Amino acid sequence: MRLTLLGTGDARQVPVYGCQCQGCQAAYADPRLRRRPCSALVELGDQRWLIDSGLPDLTERFPPRSFSGILQTHYHADHAQGLLHLRWGQGLVIQVHGPADPEGLSDLYKHPGILDFSQPFAAFETRSLGELQVTALPLLHSKPTLGYLLEGGGRRVAYLTDTVGLPEDTSAYLQKQPLDVLVLDCSLPPQPQAPRNHNDLNLALTIIEELKPERGVLTHVGHTLDAWLIEHGDELPGHVLVARDGMEI
């Protein structure tokens, strides 16, 4: 199984338009440090699924029929805005499997174009997509949101963003078997107060300790965390990595 992190930024991306902090300045100076909307591509056998669709240039990156469909975590703009372009294609249908969300994003349900939203995931439902098994895991966020457990090729990988902490039943489900890799929301540096809606580093490390993956990968990284990491990056535990756009797992 190959998981490619296409984007690893939070809703504001890095650099933040107009910001002069150390994290943003570094990203202006070195394009490899930029962070685009949080999204990924999982590949196994003949299956090739996008996880989220927030990249604005999906139609250029992915020619028609070059991917199997989309696993949507939720319908916040930074995760779904690419659908607004993709829908006006023709001659194909793209399955979008995500949470049951009565609102979705903008007018996507009213004018879905070539997008098919008709098969939302139920909580803890597992679907077999060729050799790839995908299980939908409820997360804690301001919109109905699912993380995905990806199994196949002898690997077990969890992709969990956006979330603040984890619901107990999701945590219990993931602890049933060891994880090879946990890709996890970590938007903020350590906060003095408990964070709302997204993990800060303290909470992300607590979750990693609880789920004990072989490797933890922090994604959905905001510019304040990037600035913090410039000074404190070497304080992370050895099995915890900070994601980069283009990283392959």
Residues of this chain that interact with Zn ion (CB under 5 A) are 16, 19, 21, 24, 76, 78, 162, 223
Q: How far is the CB of 212 from Zn ion (least distance, A)?
A: 25
Nearer to Zn ion, 78 or 151 (CB): 78
Q: How far is the CB of 180 from Zn ion (least distance, A)?
A: 24
- How is residue 55 written in tokens? 């990249």
Q: How far is the CB of 137 from Zn ion (least distance, A)?
A: 15
Nearest 5°: phi and psi at 33? Answer: -95, 0
- How is residue 96 written in tokens? 């979008």
Nearer to Zn ion, 146 or 240 (CB): 146
- How is residue 81 written in tokens? 């805005």
Detail the DSSP E strand segments found in the chain.
2-7, 39-44, 47-51, 69-71, 94-97, 115-116, 126-129, 132-138, 146-152, 155-160, 181-185, 215-219, 240-242
Nearer to Zn ion, 3 or 38 (CB): 38
CA distance 190 to 234: 15
Nearer to Zn ion, 132 or 158 (CB): 158
Q: How far is the CB of 177 from Zn ion (least distance, A)?
A: 27
Name residue, tokens 């829908």: 87
CA distance 144 to 74: 6
Nearer to Zn ion, 16 or 44 (CB): 16
Nearer to Zn ion, 121 or 129 (CB): 121
Q: How far is the CB of 148 from Zn ion (least distance, A)?
A: 15
CA distance 37 to 31: 15
Nearer to Zn ion, 48 or 76 (CB): 76
Q: How far is the CB of 236 from Zn ion (least distance, A)?
A: 20
CA distance 166 to 149: 14
Q: How far is the CB of 83 from Zn ion (least distance, A)?
A: 15
Q: Are 147 and 137 in contact (CB under 8 A)?
A: yes
Cβ neighbourhood burial of 110 (10 Å; 0-12, 13-18, 19+): exposed
